[in-house]
């Protein structure tokens, strides 16, 4: 009896194994079919997108492109894979593209760059925003890169047209304005001779408005110089404290009702573009005045550390909300709020100041409390041993 039961149990286990093998085979093939279907589905989805979609392996070698890529570039798959895609990047953008891609692969950081890619039929280039994000397993080890190329050619052309428009109009506006200023001065002189104080009052007001217009046009001219990389710096060696004193003294003459107080000393020399730096100080102090309708006090604090000089410009004005503090350094950004009547502007001053400073290895930042005031600070490298 015991023998019989042993025999039947062995027979049963043989049947089980073969059943299991069949099941496994069927399960595997169903799974493979499902994976193939899903993969086809995702490819169809990627092909349906107006954007170029691509993937790359962990070493940055491209291993997939959607249909849009082949339509645009006219390359074959073999010509595109690995590093083949680099062949259609504009020669002037190639180094930038390569460097940024290598950095992203090395650090696992998101990739984002604007570059020109060659269109097959036309043989001409179009601007694209190329982006890629790393895909990781368990949020740690990167296993793949998922990328897109978005056509931004229209946007780039509009931007170039706008830049050209700004450059031309500001240049064209400058000439008549200079003549108006000169005529106004002549009229002023004539009126002084005949002691016509009422009319002199008007020419003085005109002169102020002409200066304001002149400042706005100069900002626009600087923007176009920055955009085209033509803003040249004329660096010399000078004493930082003496420079700030003389710049602030000029501001005092224009704003006699304000108390502009300088505290502290850096005792250092710097190597910088003096007139561009004066423009930065003028901008920060004018803003401190412009955005402080109820206070007449501006404090300018000078300081240093082992290798840098610092200037902190503190006002007791309307202040800036946290959300706006990073944005005010962007071009054309102005905080939306009811402003004092004199607070006109284009939202360019801080952008220009920031660019001018970073071109000289400096930095500009703000600390502010809404309703209480702001402190704008900048730093520049000091001359070693000065
Ligand atoms: P503009 O003064 O011509 O608008 P800026 O680039 O100099 O351009 O400044 C950008 C914006 O930052 C201003 O519109 C203003 O809202 C804000 N801002 C700048 N300086 C100050 C300040 N000292 N206090 C309060 N707000 C300021």
Give the pLDDT confidence score for residue 11 in this predicted structure. Answer: 52
Share of the chain above pLDDT 90, in %: 74
Cα 49 to ligand 1 centroid, rounded to whole Å = 42
Distance between first and last Cα of the chain: 107
Distances (CA, A) of 101 to 67, 97, 260: 23, 6, 49
Residues shown for the chain: 386
From atom 13 of ligand 1, which residue's Cα is the shortest distance away? 334
Residue 2 clears pLDDT 50, i.e. is over it: no
Indicate the pLDDT class of residue 339, thresholds 50, 70 and 90: low
The whole-number pLDDT of residue 341 equals 61
More confident residue, 336 or 354: 354
Predicted pLDDT at 1? 45
pLDDT for 225 beyond 90: no
Please provide the average confidence, as pLDDT, over all residues in the chain: 91
The pair of three-digit structure tokens given for residue 125, joined into one six-digit string: 């280039």
Summarize the confidence of residues 101-107 as an average pLDDT. 96
Q: Which atom of ligand 1 is nearest to the CA of 347?
A: 8
The atom number, within ligand 1, closest to the CA of 317 reads: 24
Rounded to the nearest whole angstrom, what is the distance from the C-alpha of residue 337 to the centroid of ligand 1? 11
Instruction: Output the pLDDT for position 175.
Output: 87
Most confident of 210-214, 309-313, 347-351: 309-313
List, as one string, the DSSP characters of 133-198: EEEEETTTEEEEEEEEEEE-HHHHHHHHHHHHHHHHHHHHHHHHHHHHHHHHHHHHHHHHHTT-HH
* Centre of ligand 1 from the C-alpha of residue 254, in Å: 19
Q: How far is the CA of 328 from the centre of ligand 1 (A)?
A: 7
Task: Provide residues with CB under 6 Å of ligand 1.
Answer: 283, 287-288, 291, 315, 317-320, 328, 333-335, 345-351, 374
Task: Choose the weakest-confidence range: 95-99, 161-165, 195-199.
Answer: 161-165
pLDDT digit string, tens, across residues 282-322: 999 999 999 999 999 999 999 999 999 999 999 999 999 99
Q: What is the pLDDT of residue 120?
A: 86
The closest residue, in CA terms, to atom 1 on ligand 1 is 347
pLDDT digits (tens, 9 = 90+) for 25-47: 999 999 999 999 998 999 999 99
The preferred substitution site among 337, 350, 367 for testing ligand 1, maximizing ligand atoms within 8 Å of CB, is: 350
- Residues 118-157: tens digit of each pLDDT: 998 778 999 999 999 999 987 778 999 999 999 999 999 9
Tell how far the Cα of 369 is from the centroid of ligand 1, in angstroms.
14
Indicate yes or no: pTM above 0.75: no
Residue 272 alpha carbon to ligand 1 centre in Å: 24
Residue bearing the CA closest to ligand 1, atom 4: 347
For the CA of 333, the nearest atom of ligand 1 = 10
């Amino acid at each position: 009896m015991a023998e019989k039961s042993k025999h039947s149990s062995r027979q049963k286990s043989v049947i089980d194994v073969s059943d299991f093998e069949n099941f496994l085979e069927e399960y595997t093939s169903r799974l493979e079919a499902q994976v193939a279907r899903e993969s086809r589905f995702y490819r169809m989805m990627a092909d349906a997108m107006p954007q170029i979609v691509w993937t790359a392996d962990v070493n940055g070698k491209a291993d997939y492109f959607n249909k849009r890529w082949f339509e645009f570039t006219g390359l074959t798959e073999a010509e595109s894979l690995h590093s083949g895609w680099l062949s259609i990047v504009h020669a002037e953008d190639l180094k930038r593209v390569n460097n940024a891609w290598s950095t992203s692969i090395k650090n696992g950081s998101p990739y984002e760059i604007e570059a020109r890619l060659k269109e097959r039929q036309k043989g001409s280039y179009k601007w694209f925003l190329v982006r890629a994000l790393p895909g990781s397993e368990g949020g740690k080890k990167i296993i793949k890169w998922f990328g897109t190329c978005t056509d931004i050619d229209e946007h780039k052309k509009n931007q170039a047209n706008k830049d050209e428009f700004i450059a031309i109009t500001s240049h064209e506006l400058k000439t008549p304005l200079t003549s108006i200023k000169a005529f106004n001065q002549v009229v002023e002189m004539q009126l002084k001779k005949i002691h016509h104080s009422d009319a002199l009052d008007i020419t003085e007001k005109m002169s102020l408005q002409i200066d304001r217009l002149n400042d706005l046009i100069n900002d626009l001219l600087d923007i176009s110089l920055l955009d085209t990389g033509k803003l040249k710096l004329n660096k010399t060696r000078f004493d930082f404290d003496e420079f700030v004193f003389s710049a602030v003294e000029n501001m005092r003459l224009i704003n006699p009702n304000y108390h502009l107080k300088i505290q502290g000393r850096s005792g250092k020399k710097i190597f910088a573009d003096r007139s561009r730096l004066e423009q930065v100080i003028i901008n920060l102090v004018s803003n401190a005045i412009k955005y402080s309708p109820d206070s007449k006090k501006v404090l300018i604090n000078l300081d240093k550390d082992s290798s840098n000089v610092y200037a902190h410009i503190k006002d007791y004005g309307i202040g800036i909300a946290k959300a706006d503090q990073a944005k005010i350094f962007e071009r054309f950004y102005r905080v939306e709020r009811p402003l004092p009547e004199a607070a006109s502007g284009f939202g360019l001053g801080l952008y220009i100041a920031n660019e001018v400073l970073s071109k000289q290895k400096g930095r500009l930042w703000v600390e502010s409390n809404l309703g209480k005031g702001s402190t704008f600070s900048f730093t520049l490298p000091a001359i070693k041993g000065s």
